[in-house]
Protein backbone atom coordinates (compact mmCIF):
# COMPACT_ATOMS: atom_id res chain seq x y z
CA UNK A 1 0.00 0.00 0.00
CA UNK A 2 2.77 2.36 0.98
CA UNK A 3 4.60 1.68 -2.27
CA UNK A 4 1.50 2.50 -4.29
CA UNK A 5 1.32 5.99 -2.89
CA UNK A 6 4.99 6.75 -3.42
CA UNK A 7 5.72 9.24 -6.16
CA UNK A 8 7.01 7.71 -9.38
CA UNK A 9 10.36 9.26 -10.18
CA UNK A 10 9.86 10.00 -13.86
CA UNK A 11 11.84 13.09 -14.82
CA UNK A 12 9.49 15.90 -15.81
CA UNK A 13 10.51 18.34 -18.48
CA UNK A 14 9.09 21.85 -18.71
CA UNK A 15 8.91 21.20 -22.45
CA UNK A 16 5.86 19.00 -21.91
CA UNK A 17 3.44 21.80 -22.62
CA UNK A 18 5.05 22.54 -26.01
CA UNK A 19 3.27 21.51 -29.20
CA UNK A 20 6.32 19.47 -30.22
CA UNK A 21 6.39 17.46 -27.02
CA UNK A 22 4.62 14.27 -28.23
CA UNK A 23 7.05 14.08 -31.16
CA UNK A 24 10.09 14.82 -28.99
CA UNK A 25 9.05 12.16 -26.51
CA UNK A 26 8.36 9.53 -29.17
CA UNK A 27 11.48 10.11 -31.29
CA UNK A 28 13.78 10.29 -28.27
CA UNK A 29 12.42 6.94 -27.03
CA UNK A 30 12.80 5.39 -30.51
CA UNK A 31 16.36 6.65 -30.83
CA UNK A 32 17.29 5.32 -27.42
CA UNK A 33 15.95 1.91 -28.36
CA UNK A 34 17.76 2.02 -31.71
CA UNK A 35 21.04 3.10 -30.10
CA UNK A 36 20.92 0.23 -27.65
CA UNK A 37 20.70 -2.36 -30.43
CA UNK A 38 24.09 -3.83 -31.31
CA UNK A 39 25.95 -3.63 -34.57
CA UNK A 40 26.88 -7.28 -34.75
CA UNK A 41 24.21 -8.62 -37.10
CA UNK A 42 26.31 -8.22 -40.21
CA UNK A 43 24.34 -5.37 -41.74
CA UNK A 44 26.71 -2.76 -40.38
CA UNK A 45 30.01 -2.16 -42.12
CA UNK A 46 32.95 -1.01 -39.99
CA UNK A 47 34.55 1.96 -41.76
CA UNK A 48 36.67 3.68 -39.13
CA UNK A 49 38.50 2.54 -36.04
CA UNK A 50 40.74 4.47 -33.71
CA UNK A 51 41.60 3.29 -30.21
CA UNK A 52 38.29 2.50 -28.51
CA UNK A 53 36.26 4.15 -31.26
CA UNK A 54 34.41 2.10 -33.88
CA UNK A 55 32.29 3.58 -36.65
CA UNK A 56 29.82 1.64 -38.73
CA UNK A 57 27.56 2.53 -41.62
CA UNK A 58 24.93 1.03 -43.88
CA UNK A 59 24.82 2.28 -47.44
CA UNK A 60 21.31 3.47 -48.27
CA UNK A 61 19.81 5.79 -50.84
CA UNK A 62 16.38 7.42 -51.04
CA UNK A 63 15.39 8.84 -54.44
CA UNK A 64 19.03 8.79 -55.46
CA UNK A 65 20.20 10.66 -52.36
CA UNK A 66 22.70 9.15 -49.92
CA UNK A 67 21.15 8.66 -46.49
CA UNK A 68 23.63 6.12 -45.05
CA UNK A 69 22.77 5.42 -41.39
CA UNK A 70 25.82 5.76 -39.16
CA UNK A 71 26.41 4.20 -35.78
CA UNK A 72 29.50 4.71 -33.63
CA UNK A 73 30.61 3.40 -30.29
CA UNK A 74 33.35 4.84 -28.15
CA UNK A 75 34.65 4.60 -24.58
CA UNK A 76 36.18 7.57 -22.82
CA UNK A 77 37.71 7.54 -19.34
CA UNK A 78 37.41 10.33 -16.81
CA UNK A 79 34.05 11.82 -17.76
CA UNK A 80 30.39 11.08 -17.05
CA UNK A 81 27.55 10.50 -19.48
CA UNK A 82 25.89 13.65 -18.23
CA UNK A 83 29.00 15.72 -18.97
CA UNK A 84 29.27 14.32 -22.52
CA UNK A 85 25.61 15.04 -23.21
CA UNK A 86 25.73 18.48 -21.62
CA UNK A 87 28.56 19.63 -23.91
CA UNK A 88 26.86 18.11 -26.96
CA UNK A 89 23.54 19.78 -26.18
CA UNK A 90 24.56 23.25 -25.00
CA UNK A 91 24.87 25.99 -27.64
CA UNK A 92 27.61 27.64 -25.55
CA UNK A 93 30.24 25.10 -26.61
CA UNK A 94 29.03 24.04 -30.06
CA UNK A 95 31.45 26.17 -32.06
CA UNK A 96 34.37 24.88 -29.98
CA UNK A 97 34.00 21.33 -31.29
CA UNK A 98 31.65 21.36 -34.30
CA UNK A 99 33.86 21.91 -37.35
CA UNK A 100 31.17 21.48 -40.01
CA UNK A 101 29.25 24.65 -39.21
CA UNK A 102 29.61 28.27 -40.21
CA UNK A 103 26.80 29.71 -38.10
CA UNK A 104 24.48 28.56 -35.37
CA UNK A 105 21.43 30.21 -33.84
CA UNK A 106 19.00 29.18 -31.13
CA UNK A 107 15.60 29.90 -32.70
CA UNK A 108 13.68 28.95 -29.60
CA UNK A 109 14.57 27.93 -26.10
CA UNK A 110 11.67 25.68 -25.23
CA UNK A 111 13.09 24.82 -21.80
CA UNK A 112 16.44 24.10 -20.16
CA UNK A 113 16.52 20.68 -21.82
CA UNK A 114 14.94 21.49 -25.20
CA UNK A 115 15.96 24.00 -27.88
CA UNK A 116 15.37 24.63 -31.55
CA UNK A 117 18.52 25.29 -33.57
CA UNK A 118 19.24 26.68 -37.01
CA UNK A 119 22.70 25.91 -38.36
CA UNK A 120 24.45 26.81 -41.56
CA UNK A 121 26.95 24.17 -42.51
CA UNK A 122 30.12 24.58 -44.51
CA UNK A 123 29.72 24.07 -48.20
CA UNK A 124 30.84 20.79 -49.68
CA UNK A 125 32.06 21.29 -53.22
CA UNK A 126 30.45 20.97 -55.76
CA UNK A 127 27.08 20.81 -54.00
CA UNK A 128 25.00 23.73 -52.68
CA UNK A 129 25.50 24.83 -49.12
CA UNK A 130 23.20 23.24 -46.53
CA UNK A 131 21.33 24.45 -43.49
CA UNK A 132 19.71 22.39 -40.75
CA UNK A 133 16.77 23.25 -38.51
CA UNK A 134 16.17 20.83 -35.67
CA UNK A 135 14.94 20.44 -32.12
CA UNK A 136 17.45 19.16 -29.62
CA UNK A 137 16.44 17.44 -26.40
CA UNK A 138 18.55 16.34 -23.43
CA UNK A 139 17.23 13.85 -20.90
CA UNK A 140 18.16 11.32 -18.31
CA UNK A 141 16.89 7.89 -19.24
CA UNK A 142 13.98 6.97 -17.00
CA UNK A 143 13.92 3.20 -16.63
CA UNK A 144 13.37 2.00 -13.12
CA UNK A 145 13.72 -1.70 -14.04
CA UNK A 146 17.39 -1.36 -14.93
CA UNK A 147 19.45 -0.18 -11.94
CA UNK A 148 22.18 1.10 -14.29
CA UNK A 149 19.75 3.10 -16.36
CA UNK A 150 19.89 6.11 -14.10
CA UNK A 151 23.43 6.58 -15.34
CA UNK A 152 22.30 6.97 -18.94
CA UNK A 153 21.71 10.28 -20.68
CA UNK A 154 20.61 11.00 -24.23
CA UNK A 155 20.65 13.99 -26.54
CA UNK A 156 18.33 13.60 -29.51
CA UNK A 157 18.34 15.98 -32.48
CA UNK A 158 15.59 15.82 -35.08
CA UNK A 159 14.62 18.06 -37.99
CA UNK A 160 11.60 20.28 -37.55
CA UNK A 161 10.04 23.46 -38.90
CA UNK A 162 9.91 26.94 -37.43
CA UNK A 163 8.02 30.11 -38.39
CA UNK A 164 11.17 32.19 -38.10
CA UNK A 165 13.07 30.17 -40.72
CA UNK A 166 10.67 28.77 -43.29
CA UNK A 167 11.88 26.46 -45.96
CA UNK A 168 10.15 27.64 -49.10
CA UNK A 169 10.03 24.72 -51.37
CA UNK A 170 8.13 23.96 -54.55
CA UNK A 171 9.97 20.70 -54.80
CA UNK A 172 13.01 22.37 -56.28
CA UNK A 173 14.08 24.07 -53.11
CA UNK A 174 13.38 27.59 -54.29
CA UNK A 175 13.69 29.72 -51.21
CA UNK A 176 13.44 33.28 -49.97
CA UNK A 177 16.29 35.54 -51.02
CA UNK A 178 17.73 35.71 -47.55
CA UNK A 179 18.37 32.00 -47.30
CA UNK A 180 17.70 30.91 -50.83
CA UNK A 181 21.16 29.56 -51.28
CA UNK A 182 20.79 26.87 -48.68
CA UNK A 183 19.29 23.45 -49.16
CA UNK A 184 17.84 22.11 -45.95
CA UNK A 185 19.11 18.75 -44.73
CA UNK A 186 16.97 16.39 -42.66
CA UNK A 187 18.62 14.75 -39.75
CA UNK A 188 17.99 12.42 -36.86
CA UNK A 189 20.91 12.18 -34.46
CA UNK A 190 21.26 10.59 -31.04
CA UNK A 191 24.09 10.64 -28.56
CA UNK A 192 23.61 8.13 -25.75
CA UNK A 193 26.11 8.04 -22.90
CA UNK A 194 26.35 5.73 -19.91
CA UNK A 195 28.57 6.28 -16.90
CA UNK A 196 30.35 3.22 -15.53
CA UNK A 197 31.82 3.59 -12.06
CA UNK A 198 34.60 1.43 -10.68
CA UNK A 199 33.85 1.58 -6.93
CA UNK A 200 36.94 2.98 -5.17
CA UNK A 201 38.53 0.77 -2.51
CA UNK A 202 37.77 1.26 1.22
CA UNK A 203 34.88 3.57 0.50
CA UNK A 204 37.10 6.40 -0.75
CA UNK A 205 35.61 9.30 -2.72
CA UNK A 206 34.97 8.67 -6.40
CA UNK A 207 37.54 10.41 -8.58
CA UNK A 208 37.69 10.82 -12.35
CA UNK A 209 40.02 7.78 -12.48
CA UNK A 210 37.04 5.64 -11.46
CA UNK A 211 34.83 6.80 -14.35
CA UNK A 212 34.31 5.39 -17.81
CA UNK A 213 31.79 6.77 -20.26
CA UNK A 214 30.28 4.43 -22.85
CA UNK A 215 29.13 6.37 -25.88
CA UNK A 216 26.83 5.46 -28.73
CA UNK A 217 26.30 7.98 -31.53
CA UNK A 218 23.72 7.39 -34.26
CA UNK A 219 23.05 9.61 -37.24
CA UNK A 220 20.91 9.63 -40.36
CA UNK A 221 21.17 12.67 -42.61
CA UNK A 222 19.18 13.21 -45.78
CA UNK A 223 20.97 15.89 -47.84
CA UNK A 224 17.58 17.23 -49.00
CA UNK A 225 18.63 17.83 -52.57
CA UNK A 226 21.22 16.92 -55.12
CA UNK A 227 24.70 16.11 -53.87
CA UNK A 228 27.01 13.65 -55.56
CA UNK A 229 27.00 10.35 -53.66
CA UNK A 230 30.74 9.76 -53.91
CA UNK A 231 31.61 13.22 -52.61
CA UNK A 232 29.13 12.97 -49.74
CA UNK A 233 30.40 9.53 -48.71
CA UNK A 234 34.00 10.76 -48.81
CA UNK A 235 33.09 13.77 -46.64
CA UNK A 236 31.25 11.60 -44.10
CA UNK A 237 34.12 9.13 -43.96
CA UNK A 238 36.48 11.93 -43.06
CA UNK A 239 34.23 14.17 -40.96
CA UNK A 240 32.42 11.74 -38.62
CA UNK A 241 35.57 10.21 -37.08
CA UNK A 242 37.06 13.71 -36.86
CA UNK A 243 33.94 14.94 -35.07
CA UNK A 244 33.75 12.13 -32.51
CA UNK A 245 37.44 12.30 -31.66
CA UNK A 246 37.52 16.06 -31.41
CA UNK A 247 34.29 16.26 -29.43
CA UNK A 248 35.25 13.62 -26.86
CA UNK A 249 38.74 15.12 -26.40
CA UNK A 250 37.13 18.49 -25.92
CA UNK A 251 34.79 17.23 -23.19
CA UNK A 252 37.65 15.40 -21.48
CA UNK A 253 39.72 18.61 -21.48
CA UNK A 254 36.87 20.76 -20.25
CA UNK A 255 36.10 18.41 -17.36
CA UNK A 256 39.47 17.21 -16.14
CA UNK A 257 39.98 19.88 -13.48
CA UNK A 258 36.34 20.40 -12.60
CA UNK A 259 34.18 18.63 -10.01
CA UNK A 260 32.39 15.54 -11.37
CA UNK A 261 28.81 16.12 -12.53
CA UNK A 262 26.43 13.18 -12.73
O1 LIG B 1 25.93 15.51 -34.55
C2 LIG B 1 26.70 16.39 -34.86
N3 LIG B 1 26.42 17.68 -34.70
C4 LIG B 1 25.23 18.20 -34.12
C5 LIG B 1 25.39 19.65 -33.82
O6 LIG B 1 25.83 20.37 -34.91
C7 LIG B 1 24.02 18.01 -35.00
C8 LIG B 1 24.31 18.25 -36.44
C9 LIG B 1 24.22 17.43 -37.43
C10 LIG B 1 24.60 17.87 -38.78
C11 LIG B 1 24.35 16.88 -39.80
C12 LIG B 1 25.29 17.02 -40.97
C13 LIG B 1 24.85 18.01 -41.96
C14 LIG B 1 25.61 17.80 -43.21
C15 LIG B 1 26.03 19.12 -43.79
C16 LIG B 1 27.14 18.99 -44.73
C17 LIG B 1 28.42 18.52 -44.10
C18 LIG B 1 29.42 19.61 -44.13
C19 LIG B 1 30.79 19.09 -43.87
C20 LIG B 1 31.73 20.13 -44.33
C21 LIG B 1 33.11 19.87 -43.87
C22 LIG B 1 34.10 20.64 -44.69
O23 LIG B 1 23.47 16.74 -34.75
C24 LIG B 1 28.05 16.03 -35.50
C25 LIG B 1 27.89 16.01 -36.99
C26 LIG B 1 29.11 15.57 -37.72
C27 LIG B 1 28.88 15.61 -39.20
C28 LIG B 1 30.02 15.06 -39.97
Ordered by start, the domain boundaries in the chain are: 45-97+138-161+185-255
What's the confidence (pLDDT) of residue 203? 86
What's the confidence (pLDDT) of residue 126? 92
Q: Which of 57-71, 145-159, 210-224 has the lowest mean pLDDT?
A: 145-159
- Ligand 1 pocket residues where CB is under 6 Å: 98, 100-101, 119, 121-122, 124, 130, 132, 157, 185, 187, 189, 221, 235, 239-240, 243
CA distance 12 to 16: 8
Q: For the chain, how long is the longest CA-to-CA vector? A: 67
Range list of H helices, the chain: 21-36, 81-89, 91-97, 229-255
CA angle at 189 for the pair 91 and 94, rounded to the nearest 5°: 20
Residue pLDDT, tens place only, 114-150: 999 999 999 999 999 999 999 999 999 976 566 666 6
CA distance 10 to 25: 13
Percent of the chain with pLDDT over 70: 87
Residue 116: partners with Cβ closer than 8 Å, 6 or more residues away: 106, 107, 108, 110, 133, 134, 135, 136, 160, 162
Q: Is the pLDDT of residue 13 over 90?
A: no
Percent of the chain with pLDDT over 90: 78
Residues 30-47 have a mean pLDDT of: 90
Residue pLDDT, tens place only, 153-206: 999 999 999 988 877 543 344 444 444 679 999 999 999 999 999 988 888 999
Helices (H), strands (E): how many in the chain? 4, 11
Instruction: Say if CB 255 and CB 79 are below 8 A apart.
Output: yes
188, 219, 227, 237: which to mutate for ligand 1, most atoms within 8 A of CB? 219
Question: What is the torsion angle, in degrees rounded to the nearest 10, for the CA atoms of residue 247, residue 123, residue 160 and residue 23?
Answer: -40
- Strands of 152-210 (E only): list them: 152-159, 183-197
Q: Topology of 45-97+138-161+185-255 in CATH?
A: Alpha-D-Glucose-1,6-Bisphosphate; Chain A, domain 4 (3.30.530)
Residue pLDDT, tens place only, 82-102: 999 999 999 999 999 999 999
pLDDT band at residue 32 under the 50/70/90 scheme: very high
Amino acid sequence: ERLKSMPVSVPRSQAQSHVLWPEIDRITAEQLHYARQGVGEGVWELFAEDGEMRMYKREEEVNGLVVDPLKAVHTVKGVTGFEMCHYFFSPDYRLDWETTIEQMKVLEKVSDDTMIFLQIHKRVWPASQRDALFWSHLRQVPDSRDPDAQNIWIVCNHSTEHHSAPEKSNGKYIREKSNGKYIRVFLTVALVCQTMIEPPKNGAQITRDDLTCKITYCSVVNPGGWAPASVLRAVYKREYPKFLKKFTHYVYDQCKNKPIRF
